[in-house]
Amino acid sequence: MDNRAIGIFDSGVGGLTVLKEYQKLLPHENYIYFGDTARLPYGSKSKETICNFSKQIVEFLINQNVKLIVIACGTASAMAYNTLQKEFSIPIIDIISPTAKQIKDDNIGVIATKATIKSNSWEEEIHKYSPNTHVTSLACPLFVPLVEEGFATSEITPLVVKKYLSYFHEIPISSLILGCTHYPILENVIQDELGKEIKLINPGTYSAIYAKEYLMQNKLLHSQSSDGNIIFYSSDNEEYFKNIAETFFPIHNYEIHMEQMKA
């Protein structure tokens, strides 16, 4: 047993969708979540910048004495995961590898940020386990600002989603990976645009499944039988982060702190 918390980080609030999946499977664990709201979006930044930001956050989480770190960000998973694994000894789990291992479809779509799509990380990882799968990738850069600016339920969101995803009406796919962790917040709008016959894949689910297996195999599960708590850190705008977090988690179950990061 290991009663230390699990550390999770994202460029902003999108990783809350991953944290939610972890809580479903590992409700007794404690969590420390870092949202880098001061420096988002990551999807338009260089690999070097994303790696530097990610290393700073990992160092911060290690100083909080976490036992495991989850990259709850598609862009950081694509651009920084390998670098972080080489530089740190703490176990680190991304969202791409655990999901790619589960892909069984012949034709699958991936939507993500520009940086993630440009890296080809999803396609390369999927082909490691399913070399014959045809992968169609599409960058949807406006989805993250829609979520971060609070427009997820706005009347403009279906128009933006349609503008991007009409591309898939001409492409034969059976499933679509939501390759940025902000995108599950738009899941209903995306499903309405594509139709119910297209399965939407939330990578946070598979990351959580992998993490549970890892913790069980290494005897690192928390010993408590009650629900765990959450400590949130945000690099900017604590009140904004609090308002978003309240839509995901019971208000009595967490606390929020500010932690400034150097540019």
Q: Are the C-beta atoms of 208 and 221 separated by less than 8 Å?
A: no
Could you tell me which of 227, 261, 255 has the C-alpha nearest to residue 241? Answer: 255
The answer to whether residues 54 and 142 belong to one domain is no
pLDDT band at 253 (very low <50, low <70, confident <90, very high): low
**Mean pLDDT over residues 137-141, rounded?**
97
Give the pLDDT confidence of 195-231 residue by residue, as tens digits.
999 999 999 999 999 999 999 999 999 998 888 999 9
Where would I find the H helices in the chain?
16-25, 47-63, 74-87, 96-100, 114-119, 121-129, 143-148, 157-165, 187-194, 203-217, 238-246
Q: What type of residue sits at position 174? A: S
**Mean pLDDT over residues 2-22, rounded?**
96
The answer to whether residues 102 and 189 belong to one domain is yes
Structurally, the chain folds into a number of domains equal to 2
pTM: 0.94
Give the pLDDT confidence of 100-133 residue by residue, as tens digits.
999 988 999 999 999 999 999 999 999 999 999 9
Q: How many CB atoms are closer than 10 A to CB 65?
A: 10
The answer to whether residues 167 and 237 belong to one domain is no
Residue 181, domain CATH = 3.40.50.1860
Q: Please report whether residue 1 resides in a domain.
A: no
Indicate the residue among 184, 202, 220 that finishes a domain: 202
- Structural domain including 167 reads 97-202
- As annotated, the active-site residues are 73, 180
The answer to whether residues 81 and 118 belong to one domain is no
